[in-house]
Structure 1
Amino acid sequence: MGRYRPPRKRGSKYITPEGEATLREEVHQLWKVERPQVTNAVHEAAKNGDRSENGDYIYGKRRLREIDSRVRFLNKRLDELEVVERPPADTSKVRFGAWVTLEDEAGVENRWRIVGPDEFDLKANKLSMDSPMARAMLGKGLDDEVIVHSPSGEQLYYVTGIDYA
């Protein structure tokens, strides 16, 4: 059994200005702050002699590879992303960047923002536009039904609010 894994399907190329700023801040933190610290630690560990048994050296080199890989990925991803800075012309429909209030059959309301796959955060109520729930919401208007197909079965929601603020 080999280690080959097929490449993952790329997510959508859209991102909000806040999401882009977060990714750029991560690149800055990794490249300008963390990498110099790890490089210095590896340099000091290399002075201690036998590198094959030096944990600081081994783990520092591994962390440098992780940082370099993540920075390379983020830079490539930032180059291909398209920042969506303004709301769509028709704000009565659910589109990228919208805050959508959904009501389930029990009357419980939840508010979600549809964002790009690089910035989704369920704790902050941000759904990736590639998720099944967001895909079911896209294009819907106020008071429309949203049917989400999930492993536990179909779930029915009603759109009770759309906001682009």
Structure 2
Amino acid sequence: MSSAFLKNETADAPVVIPARAPLPPGTSNYVTPRGLALLRQELAELETERVSVQHTAPDETERTRQLALINGRVGALNQRIASASVVDPATQPHTEVRFGATVTLQPKKGPDRTLTIVGVDEADASHGRVAFTAPIARAMQGKRIGDSVALRTMKGEETYTIAAIDYGF
């Protein structure tokens, strides 16, 4: 029987630490002030969880596994925080798309799209936040209001016009 169907894992099974969002090799870990605050909040929550596990885990084996998982996540998170390079969107040139910009894109047909360029840990496409390493963010970098951007979508290549750039001023 496959171990995937077993409820209890063996004590010697390796603990798998979930990977953080990838950063291409040699790429700086740019974050917005909000992104850094979210990383620090996540670290505080993991520290709280670690204390809870120490007092509530049902047995020593489970406590050891849970603590190993939490400690691995804390280590990865500490590395990400230590490598963070904060870019305040307010310091960016307001006439050009750069890191931290909220960009309104107008297609030839259909509704506008609004995207904010953020760090890899802050990215959440369902909320319009895209990582600066994403192809759509790279295509917009350096553009100004009125410039066109060609993007590959599921419908094929579509052309958008930069309609607005906002840095939260």
TM-score by length of 1: 0.80
Which amino acid letter does the alignment assign opposite residue 118 of structure 1?
Answer: D
Q: CA deviation at 1:123?
A: 2.0
What corresponds to 1:53 in structure 2?
none
Write the distance in 1 (CA, Å) between the matches of 2:157 and 2:33: 33
Aligned to 1:45, which of 40, 59, 63?
Answer: 59
Question: Aligned in 2, Cα 1:131/1:12: closer, same or farther, shift over 3 Å?
Answer: farther
Aligned to 2:87, which of 77, 84, 88?
Answer: 84
Unaligned runs of 5+ in 1: 1-7, 47-56
Question: Aligned in 2, Cα 1:86/1:104: closer, same or farther, shift over 3 Å?
Answer: closer
Which amino acid letter does the alignment assign opposite residue 66 of structure 1?
Answer: L
What corresponds to 2:109 in structure 1?
106
Q: Give matches, 1:24-35, under 5 Å.
A: 24-31=40-47, 33-35=48-50
Question: Aligned in 2, Cα 1:89/1:17: closer, same or farther, shift over 3 Å?
Answer: closer
* 2:59 counterpart SS class: helix
Which amino acid letter does the alignment assign opposite residue 115 of structure 2?
Answer: W
Percent of residue pairs bearing the same amino acid type? 37
> Does the aligned pair in 2 maintain the 1:12–1:116 contact within 8 Å?
no
Q: CA deviation at 1:131?
A: 0.6
* 2:90 counterpart SS class: coil
What corresponds to 2:148 in structure 1?
145
Unaligned runs of 5+ in 2: 1-21
Deviations 1:34-69 (A, max 9, x none): 101111124x624xxxxxxxxxx33x3222111111
Aligned to 1:127, which of 120, 126, 130?
Answer: 130
Write the distance in 2 (CA, Å) between the matches of 1:22 and 1:67: 17
Deviations 1:119-146 (A, max 9, x none): 1011221111111111111111001100
TM-score by length of 2: 0.78
What corresponds to 1:69 in structure 2?
72
Which amino acid letter does the alignment assign opposite residue 13 of structure 1?
Answer: N
RMSD (Å) for aligned C-alpha atoms: 1.9
Q: CA deviation at 1:160?
A: 0.4
> Does the aligned pair in 2 maintain the 1:117–1:129 contact within 8 Å?
yes
The answer to whether the aligner puts 1:164 opposite 2:155 as a matched pair is no
